[in-house]
Structure formats: C-alpha cells, structure tokens
Amino acid sequence: MQRDGRWRPNRVLVGVFVLLILVQTPLFAPYFTLAPEKRLFAGTPFSLPLPPLFRLASSDPSVIDVFGDAALEPRAAGKATVDVRLGALPVARMNVRVFPELRVYPGGQSIGVKLKTDGVLVVGYKKIVTADGRGVSPAEDAAIRVGDRIKKVDGKPLKDAGELGHLIEAAGRAGRPMTVELARGEDVLTVTVRPLLDPEDNSYKLGLFVRDSAAGVGTLTFYDPNTRIYGALGHVISDLDTRRPIAAGGGVILPSTVSDVDRGWPGRPGAIRAIFPEEGKKIGDIEKNTPFGIFGRLTAVPSHPLFRDPLPVAPADEVHPGPAKILTVVEGDRIEAYDIEIESVFRQDAPSTKSMIIRVTDPRLLEKTGGIVQGMSGSPILQDDRLAGAVTHVFVSDSARGYGVFIEWMLRMTDLIPEVETAPEESPARAA
C-alpha cells in the first residue's frame, strides 16, 4: 500500500507471512502439532514452554486456567480447550481433559495373592478306563470344554471343587444324570452328563480336572488413603493350564515375606520365593482381575516406610524416556528403591498393556536378581517425583529389561478415574 509517496506493508499480510515462517521452523513446529487430547489432574500445574509473542487461552477457566502466558492450572474435573495464540491469532488448539485431584501412595510391598474363580474352572480331561479297556470322559462327550466354568449343578449354585465332587458322587450312587450350567465366555449353557464309576478308586467322576483358585506372589502397586482402593501386579492372572484369564470370584491378598530369590539369566527368568507368615490375616480383598492387574480394597491403610505423604500421579502422556526408580522387595519385607532407565515409551491414547520398555541399571538389584524376576510384577515406577507406572513383564532373552504399564491405565480400572472400555493388546513376554 502506498500513501504520501511512501510504501507501508499491510499488517495482516505481514502477520500471515511471519506465521508461515514459524510453522516451517523446527523450533516452533511442536506448538502447531499438539496432541489431540491432553490429560491432567486437578491441582497439578502443567507448563508448555512457548517462544516470545505466543500465549495460551482457555475456553473454561473454571476447569483449567492460564497463569502467566504458558502455564496451565487444572482446577476441576471436566473438559476444555486451550488455544495457542500468536498475539490475538489462534494457531493451534489442544483438547484438555481434567481428572479429579488424585494422590496415592506407591506400593512396593510383596504380597501373597489368593484368587478364587467365579465357578469351578475346567482345566483338562481325565479318561476313565472302563471294563472293556476304553478311556472315556463323560464330560468331554457332553461337550464340556476346557476353559468352561461350572456355575450350577441341578440348579444349585456351586461353591467350590470339593462340593462338586460330593454332588457327582451322590448323583452316581443314585444312578441319575446331572444338569450342569456352564459359563463359556459371555455365554451360559446347560448340559446333561451322567457320572461314571472309576474302578481306579471306586468313585464316580465326570472325567474332568478342575480348579477353583489360584495362588502366587506379586507386588502392591498403589493404594488410595481415602477410599482404601488398591491395585497390584499390573497384568492379568491367568490359569496355569488353560493360559486364559481367570474370572474372579473373590479372593484376598496377604502379607508376604521374601525368603529367597532365584536369579534370572538370559533365557531363564528368575523368581521370588516368599512365605505368608500370617496365613489367615488378609490385608485386602480382590474384586477385579483385569488385563492391568488385580484391584480391590485394603482392610486398613498401612503407613509407608519411604513416604510420609501420598504422591501425585503422572498422566500417560507425561511419562518419558530417562532415569526412574522402582520400589520392590527382594529380601524379607524391606521396600527399597532401585535405579532403572525408561528406554522407550509407546504413545497411547487408550489403555494398552505394554506402555514402556524399562531396563534395570542399579548394580545392587542386578547382582541380587539379574534384573526383573517373577514376583516383581506390580513394582511401582517413579519418575519426576510422581507415580508413573508399574513393572509387568520381563524379557526372557534379557532379564535386565522388561515392560511397564502406565499408572493411568491401572487407575482407570478403579473408581478413582473413569474407566475406558478398550481391548488391550496382548504381551508376548512372560509375566514377572
């Protein structure tokens, strides 16, 4: 534009020209390619360092407010949008979801796990040898499958495997068939099967191997001091024979004392050996067995030997490669912190069972265990003074390395964070 013989640039055109230059500059590119959604916890500020002339603006300051030009203060649970602006011109937008303020205690305690199945689980067939030398399984012939859960017999809810044995014997002595109600995945089926006398011990059987519980050792990941909600293990408990997740029908966690460690080596994962010194004293109930661990409520909130106050939690998108620590027990009941390195992080918009690859770097832990061993599943991962995740699996080929899961995904399995319904990925590594 030209006035009084002098040329003056159009301010809008200059602004657009400057903006185009900034977008193409690697230094500024991240501010124009923000993640589609940012998850934050109320009460935990977040800063997005911006270059000069840029500032942030919130669509709802009651949910998330802006202080300074580039710091966000999550105030209350809800959703809002945050714009990145160059002067008054919006150049990028970020959707923000704010969860209620949440601080939990990290765990690290070794625990004994006793999980009851929902119904009696069929884990195999037992052939009964008849007088003519044939091997017969009445249950298999009646199309009862491995992995089915027997829920009722003759209309009566089944308590455990022992009760099933008594009912089979009674029906066999009476010479009558049994009506068996099965749960097969989400389906409910009813079959009729007649017990057969097993000459091996002169008792009646259906020709099945069954199980009504599973037991093992793991690590407590977190607990909330207000609700007493806890999470542990970081992965699902599966049946040893069927390799399928166990449908939880209740259960308990117990105090555990580590008595010995079978050191891990390449090609041979190690394991923690532990005893339950107070066999009858539960410290919590098991309510859920999920792909992200077991969950329930503690009978009482224990004091933590390393932390006087609960810690904030890290949203999944703020966990990053770099130094971190895990809390775990490898001797007695003493929780210790060990150095690890988060080697890589998988950016996930929805819950998945493999969130990061970790490597043990602490020489004390490497000397004692070789790295990650079975029984350490659930050991909390701390980064930047926040609870970031949990150890879940060890690499069979390298016991110093394994997988971890984001703590956000575990928390979403509880009432502490709204649950997100997704189909988690399967991990090929062996559970730790």
Torsion, Cα of 420, 421, 425, 430 (10° steps): 80
Q: How far apart are CA 144 and CA 180, in angstroms?
A: 9
Which tens digit of pLDDT belongs to each residue from 315-354? 998 999 999 999 999 999 999 999 999 999 998 878 889 9
pLDDT at 388 over 70: yes
Q: Which of 100, 135, 167 is the last residue of a domain?
A: 100
Asked, for residue 168, whether it belongs to a domain, the answer is: yes
Mention every residue, 6+ apart, whose C-beta is less than 8 A from residue 284.
228, 230, 252, 253, 296, 297, 298, 299
End-to-end CA gap in the chain: 71
State pTM to two decimals. 0.82
The Cα–Cα gap between 163 and 7 comes to 97
The answer to whether 128 touches 351, Cβ cutoff 8 Å, is no
Give kind and range of the element (H or E) at residue 57: strand 54-58
Judge if 193 and 320 occupy the same domain.
no
Reference 45, options 317, 416, 417, 312; nearest CA is 312
Establish if 120 belongs to a structural domain: no
Burial class (CB in 10 A: 0-12, 13-18, 19+), 366: middle
> Strand 89-99 and strand 37-41: pairing?
parallel
Write the single-letter amino acid at 362: D
Residue 161 belongs to what H/E stretch?
Answer: helix 161-174
Q: Which of 137-141, 337-341, 358-362, 420-424 is least confident?
A: 420-424
DSSP 128: E
Q: Of 421 and 128, which is predicted with more confidence?
A: 128
Q: Is residue 391 assigned to a domain? A: yes
The closest alpha carbon to 348, from 304, 401, 407, 264, belongs to 407
- Taking residues 86-115, report their average pLDDT: 90
Report yes or no on 118 lying in a domain. Answer: no
Shared domain for 262 and 201, answered yes or no, is: no
pLDDT at 30 over 50: no
Number of Cβ within 10 Å of residue 37's Cβ equals 12
Instruction: Supply the CATH number for residue 170's domain.
Output: 2.30.42.10
Residues 6+ apart with CB under 8 A from 265: 370, 399
Q: What is the DSSP string of 229-287?
A: EEEESSS--B-TTT-SBPPEEEEEEEE-EEEEEE--BTTB--EEEEE-TTTT--SEEEE
pLDDT digits (tens, 9 = 90+) for 279-309: 668 999 999 999 999 999 999 888 899 999 9
Report the alpha-carbon distance of residue 63 to residue 123 in Å, rounded.
51
Note whether 360 and 332 are same-domain residues: yes
CATH of the domain at 249: 2.40.10.120
Beta strands in 127-207 (DSSP E): 128-129, 135-136, 149-153, 156-157, 178-184, 187-193, 196-198, 203-205
**Do 155 and 10 fall within a single domain?**
no
Query: Which residue range(s) make up the domain with 90?
Result: 2-100
Place of tokens 């003056």: 8
Give the mean model confidence (pLDDT) for residues 41-46.
Answer: 86
**Torsion 351-39-295-329 (CA) sign:** positive
Q: Do 278 and 171 sit in the same domain of this protein?
A: no
Q: pLDDT tens digits for 76-99?
A: 889 999 888 887 788 888 899 998
Pair 32, 47 in one domain: yes
pLDDT for residue 432 = 55
Any idea what the CATH number is for the domain that residue 54 is in?
2.60.40.1080
**Which positions ≥6 away from 93 have C-beta within 8 Å?**
34, 81, 82, 83, 84
Residue 75 vs residues 45, 100, 406: alpha-carbon distances, Å = 9, 9, 23
Grouping H, G, I as helix, E, B as strand and the rest as coil, residue 423 is coil
Do 136 and 253 lie in a common domain?
no
Comparing 106-110, 313-317, 385-389, which segment has the lowest mean pLDDT? Answer: 313-317
Give yes or no: residues 426 and 373 share one domain. Answer: yes
Please state, as a whole number, how many other Cβ atoms lie within 10 Å of the Cβ of residue 212: 20
Average pLDDT, the chain: 87
393 is catalytic: no
Q: Which of 137, 198, 212, 235 is catalytic?
A: 235
Catalytic residue among 110, 137, 377, 399: 377
pLDDT at 313: 95
Same-domain check for residues 232 and 156: no
Residue 288 lies in a domain: yes
Q: What angle do CA 413, 96, 85 make, to 5 degrees?
A: 165
Q: Indicate the number of domains in the chain.
A: 3
Same domain, 378 and 236: yes
| Strand partners of residue 342 | 322, 358
Answer yes or no: do 187 and 252 share one domain. no
- Listed range (27-41, 155-169, 345-359) with the worst mean pLDDT: 27-41
Kindly indicate the confidence band of residue 32, based on its pLDDT and cuts at 50, 70 and 90: very low
Whether residue 144 sits in one domain with residue 272? no
The span from the CA of 124 to the CA of 129, in Å, is 16
Cα gap 371→67, rounded to integer Å:
44
Residue at which a domain ends, from 206, 235, 263: 206
Q: Is residue 150 part of a domain?
A: yes
Is residue 119 included in any domain, yes or no? no
Domain boundary among 165, 189, 206: 206
Tell whether 32 is covered by a domain. yes
CA 117 – CA 400 distance, rounded (Å): 33
Q: Which amino acid is at 385?
A: D
Residue of 262, 317, 362, 398 with catalytic role: 362
